[in-house]
Each structure stands twice: as structure tokens, then as C-alpha cells.
Amino acid sequence: MACSNCAVGRYQLTFGGDGDCSQCTLGSIAYTPSSPTCLTCPAGQWHDSSSADKKCVFCEPNTFNENGEGDTCNLCEANSYSNAVASSCYSCLPGQRYESTSADDNKCVPCETNTYNENGEGETCTLCPSNSYSNPSSSSCYTCAPGDVYNDALIASQFGGKKCEPCPVATYSPTGNTCLPCVASNGYVNDITRAAICNYCGPGRRADVTTNTCQLCLVNEYSVGCSDTCSDCASGHSDPGSSSCINGPGEHSEEDASFCEKCPQYELHNKETDECECQDTFTRVEGVCTCTAGLTLPARPV
């Protein structure tokens, strides 16, 4: 009686054995006829028991087989991926996204500038919100601090990982979004870089565009603020840093006036009321100061 080879997928462990060859267990295979043992498929492959040659088949992308056992490959879990013939799946790192069409074996690609991916999940990176920014491969976005402004041309590693630079003198940035000019004609100046606000030049001061500082008004000048100039007192006088002029003898100022006015003839200025009043021995009649009854003005010399 002649000996015959075991078929592919079957084995005979002993020499001179009688009877049928044994079937390889699920997930193992005898690659050749007359094989004495069964072997498992390599990791990343699975055993196709339905094929004529009982072959091992590669796992497809996004599936895996850890040890080559069994007749299937397992699907990767959500937000994890694999290449073909994989024994395990991988997840993209924060700051990356999965790209199924990538020719690279590693299909995780970095997020671009001003986009981010917090945990490496999904096939997209999210745009940074308005007035916020990111470097490539970022898991989050950042905003520039007040007084700074974003500049994409900067090398982030030289600026603490952020592409923010100080606003120049005479400008300010309240939100870190853009540098705005301090308007000197409205009384605002700034002589430092990285300013979040401008300095306000109040009453008695003017905004100086040369030094970008507030300067006191000089003697006989005044300013109510909100300006880059001081005005001359039309009459009267003022001390340095004055917001108004001081009335001289026989002068008064109208409400909200920026200069002093002469009191009419025969009237004097009352400092307490800031009004012109008739001199002694004079009485106001129909708005004009005239001699009190029984008195008369001396005759003018001829």
C-alpha cells in the first residue's frame, strides 16, 4: 500500500501514520502537501480557509490582525487607522489629521498654519477663530496679548512659540489683533512700544506728536484737553498747565468761554459770581449802568 501526501490545509504529525490527515485548526495552515505541522499566518494577515490553496491574505488598510490567527482582520476603532498588512492600528497625534489618500505609509499629516486639531481625530483640521492664530502641527490656537500684533513672517521659535510682535510707538492694540494709531489731535499719545492703550492728555496739556508725550501748556496758554495744541489767552492770563484763562481787572468770562471779556463801561467783575456788575453809585437801567438818581457824571474836559 503506497503512502500519499496530505492535502494543503491538512497535516500528519507522525511517520507511518494510518488514516486520514488532520485538518489544520482555524487560523493555521499547512502550506505544502505532506506538511507535518500547521503554521499560523504572519501578523497582519489572515487565513482564507475557503480558497483552494488555503492561503494567507493581507489585511486591508484600516484593519489589523495582531498575530495572524483567525480567518478575519479586525476593523480599527474610531479615529484610529492602519496601513495594509498591519498588526495594529495607530492614532494621529494632536496637531495632525488623517489623510486616506496620502501616498506615505504614515497617513497622519500636520495641520497647516492657523488651523488645529486638538486630539488628532478625523480627516480635517479646524480653522482658528477670528483674531487667533496657530503654527503648523498645532493642537490649539493662541491670541496675541494686548499691545502685540500677529506677524506671520516671524519665526515662532524666536518668540516663545508665538508669532506676536510689539506694536510700535504712537500706536496701541487693545485686543492683540491690530495696531491702531494714537490720535494726537484728539489728545492721545503713546511713547512706548507694546501699549494696550494710549495716554490721554487732559485739561492744561496738549498731545505732542514729536515726543509722543503730554506737554503742559505754557504761561498765557490754556487747553481744555482733547487736543494737540494749546490756545493763547485772548485777554487775561494763565499759569502753566491751565485749562482756562484768569480774568484780569475789569474782565469776565462767559460760560464755556475760552477767553476773557472786558466788562462794559462803569462795570466791574465780581469774582464770586463771575459777572460784570455796576460800579458803586451806578444803577442798571434797561441793561446799562447809569448814575444813581441824584448823581451825575462829571463833565468831560473840553
* DSSP characters over 271-299: TTTTEEEEPTTEEEETTEEEEPTT--PPP
Quote the strand ranges of 163-265, DSSP E: 164-166, 171-172, 180-181, 188-189, 199-200, 205-208, 213-216, 221-222, 231-232, 251-252, 261-262
Report the pLDDT averaged over residues 74-90.
Answer: 90
- Give me 127's grid cell: 480653522
Measured CA to CA, the distance from residue 3 to residue 1 in angstroms comes to: 7
Chain-centre distance of CA 300, in angstroms?
82
More confident residue, 165 or 79: 165
Asked if residue 256 has pLDDT above 50, the reply is: no
Instruction: Say what the pLDDT of residue 130 is.
Output: 86
- Give me 198's grid cell: 494710549
**What's the pLDDT band for 79 if we cut at 50, 70, 90?**
confident
Give the pTM.
0.55
Residues 6+ apart with CB under 8 A from 136: 110, 111, 112, 113
Task: Supply the mean pLDDT for the chain.
Answer: 82
Asked if residue 295 has pLDDT above 70, the reply is: no
Which domains does the chain show, CATH number per domain? 1-89 (no CATH), 91-142 (2.10.50)
Q: Which of 7-16, 36-45, 97-106 has the highest mean pLDDT?
A: 36-45
Q: Nearest-CA neighbor of 24 among 36, 5, 14? A: 36
**What's the pLDDT band for 258 if we cut at 50, 70, 90?**
very low
The pLDDT > 70 percentage for the chain reads: 77
